[in-house]
Chain A
Amino acid sequence: MSSVRLPVRVGRIEAPALVAVWVREWTVFKYFWRTRTFAAIVEPVITLLAFGFGFGKLVSSIDGIPYIQFVGTGAVATAVLFSAVFSSMFDALYKRRYQRVYDAMLAAPVDVDEIVTGESLFIGVRAGVYGVAPLLVAFLFGLQPEPAMVLVPLIGALTGVGFAALGMWFATTVTTFDGFSYVISGVITPLFLVAGTFFPLNRMPQWLQSLAQLNPLYHCVELVRHCAFGLDPLADLVHVGALCGFAALAWWLAVWRTRVRLVV
């Protein structure tokens, strides 16, 4: 009856546990990929088209970039944000409070940090893939492919990992889905609007520009634009560093609070 089992080590994040969490996420994704992909891709594309055609009539270009291409590159970050943060926060609350899947997983040799890491990585990578959709649409509107654009999914994934972890942390701060209203209105919407996606921040008041430096989405937008319109190595290293720092902080918050919620 006893099966051959791989060894378990205490006090570290183990690859077999991460793979198992990934497999679980992938298995669930196979059941729901249509709806999740539709929502993750169609929404930012519609936003892109609406802003592009709407404001595009009023604003022909920004800093020499056609407006629809400006928005198209910015909408990558929007797609990443929405697909990562919404998916992780709603799923995490559902799995913790209603389905209790985390309890089931924690009965196996998997720890909270492994669950948070595995899920954040999966959702982040998926967000990186979804984030390419607005870019593809922007190609239809004249955006020229550039070699550096192959980095866009990686930028999206790095940003997505951070927002997935942030979403998991948000999920620990509420006890019902209604509680997310505060998070969506008070945190996600400002992040979304003050990221330089739809308008350039350098024309905003100085205090807003300074505040935007704290917005991880801004750094994602800047990196994607630089991939499309010309890299700025020093600035881009700072942007990557900011995204890494954000992902690490969000991961730490998510692990800390999820552990508090799940291990009493």
Chain B
Amino acid sequence: MSIHGVVKRFGDVRAVNGLDLDVPAGLCYGLLGPNGAGKSTTMRILTGQAVADGGTVEVLGHRLPDESKLARARMGVCPQESNLDVDLGVRDVLEVFARLYRVASAERPAAVDRALALAGLEQRANDRAVTLSGGMQRRLLIARALIHGPEIVLLDEPTVGLDPQIRQELWSLIVSLRESGTTVLMSTHYIEEAERLADRVAIMSAGRVVAEGTPAELILAHAGREVVDVHASMAELASLRSRAEADGLPTRHSGPSLTYLHAGDFDGRVPPGSRRSANLEDVFVRLTGDYVE
């Protein structure tokens, strides 16, 4: 997938604002950003459901939007919000989408059975989708996206709103997808999700990529090896922050504390506090100025 200089406006709002992104094949690529960063719009552009006002988009060698139909045949999409035919049975949902994705008739029963097994829904195959729990519905959405054995899977906030146990289950599913060689583009605003699953991460803010690399590269470049958390009153934190800015010390605000980034590079100038390894959350907050979930 290759996106260059893409702009998408909704009225006066630029949801995507000069986005550049290259997603190599066979990786799990995380699109990390706060709400409103343009992740979902980017996903919609990639599926041809939003047309960019400027820039170029290419998926699997197909130029979008003109050839989006060809690209869609080779992609699977799991949306942020459920769009299941909830009144249908689980097997029916998968059979309908096997047809929509042009799975050959001789292959269809096996494809449906495989998707059911992948989602762990064999025992619920004849139940209506509406009777499934939220986690099961999400697994069905992913199974539906994989029914045709796509080369690329787009997962838009795949675990949003799910409880931790189900989130872990879905992470295992995503890991197995990556191991099978499928390219995964996953948008998320959960730091842990990106850190644990993504081979490479692009951090988005205000419709553009502000940093890109492996999680380790991003951490090293933007937060260093170690950081120091300083806990203090709000007034003291404000004062410390002003002083840090004046001294050229990179910091990020973390609720009741101030975190000094690249602490090892500024030994002796960083106030005493809790020293720890830097993580992707430090990078995310530093670059987007957002609090994290």
List residues of A whose CB falls within 8 A of some B CB: 1-10, 16-17, 19-21, 23-24, 27-28, 31-32, 99-101, 103-111, 262-264
Contact = CB atoms under 8 A, between A and B. Distances in A.
Chain B interface: which size bin? 35 or more
A105 B100 contact: yes
Contacts of B146: 1
Contact of B87 (A16, A19, A31, A105): A31
9 contacts: A1-B182, A4-B104, A5-B104, A8-B69, A10-B70, A27-B92, A27-B96, A31-B88, A109-B72
Interface in B31-79: 44, 47-51, 66-67, 69-70, 72-73, 75-77, 79
Given A104-B85, A263-B49, A263-B51, 17 more contacts: A1-B149, A4-B103, A4-B107, A6-B103, A8-B70, A9-B69, A16-B99, A19-B99, A20-B99, A27-B92, A99-B84, A103-B79, A104-B83, A108-B73, A109-B70, A263-B50, A264-B10
B58 to A, nearest CB: 15
A10 B69 contact: yes
Given A2-B149, A5-B148, A108 B97 contact: yes
Contacts of A264: 10, 44, 49-51
B100 A110 contact: yes
B101 A109 contact: yes
A39 to B, nearest CB: 17
Contacts of A104: 77, 79, 83-85, 97, 144
Contacts of B180: 1
A5 B73 contact: yes
Contacts, number: 124
B82 to A, nearest CB: 8
Given A262-B49, A263-B50, A100 B100 contact: no
A24 B100 contact: yes
A103 B83 contact: yes
B245 interface: no
A9 B95 CA distance: 22
B43 to A, nearest CB: 10
B28 interface: no
A104 B145 CA distance: 9
Given A1-B149, A3-B107, A27-B95, A108 B101 contact: yes
A103 B49 contact: yes
B86 interface: yes
Nearest to B102: A6
A67 B24 CA distance: 73
Contact of A3 (B69, B72, B75, B103): B103
Nearest to B111: A3
A27 B144 CA distance: 16
Contact of B85 (A6, A28, A111, A262): A28
Which of B75, B83, B103, B144 has the most CB atoms of chain A within a 10 A radius of its CB?
B83
A100 B102 contact: no
B81 interface: yes
B114 interface: yes
In the A-B complex, list the 5 residue pairs whose CB atoms are closest, starting with the nearest: A2-B149, A100-B83, A107-B77, A108-B100, A109-B73
A106 B72 CA distance: 8
A183 B145 CA distance: 37
B103 A28 contact: no
A146 to B, nearest CB: 40
A24 B70 CA distance: 21
B49 A101 contact: no
Contacts of A28: 85, 87-88
A107 B48 CA distance: 8
Contacts of A10: 66-67, 69-70
A230 B104 CA distance: 48
B69 A111 contact: yes
A99 to B, nearest CB: 7
Contact of B96 (A5, A16, A20, A32): A20
Given A6-B104, A99-B85, A104-B84, A109 B69 contact: yes
A106 to B, nearest CB: 6
A241 B147 CA distance: 43
A19 B107 CA distance: 17
Contacts of A4: 103-104, 106-107
A20 B75 CA distance: 17
A26 B10 CA distance: 37
Interface in B187-224: none
B50 A100 contact: no
B127 to A, nearest CB: 13
B260 to A, nearest CB: 43
A109 B50 CA distance: 15
Contacts of A110: 69, 100
Contact of B72 (A9, A108, A262): A108
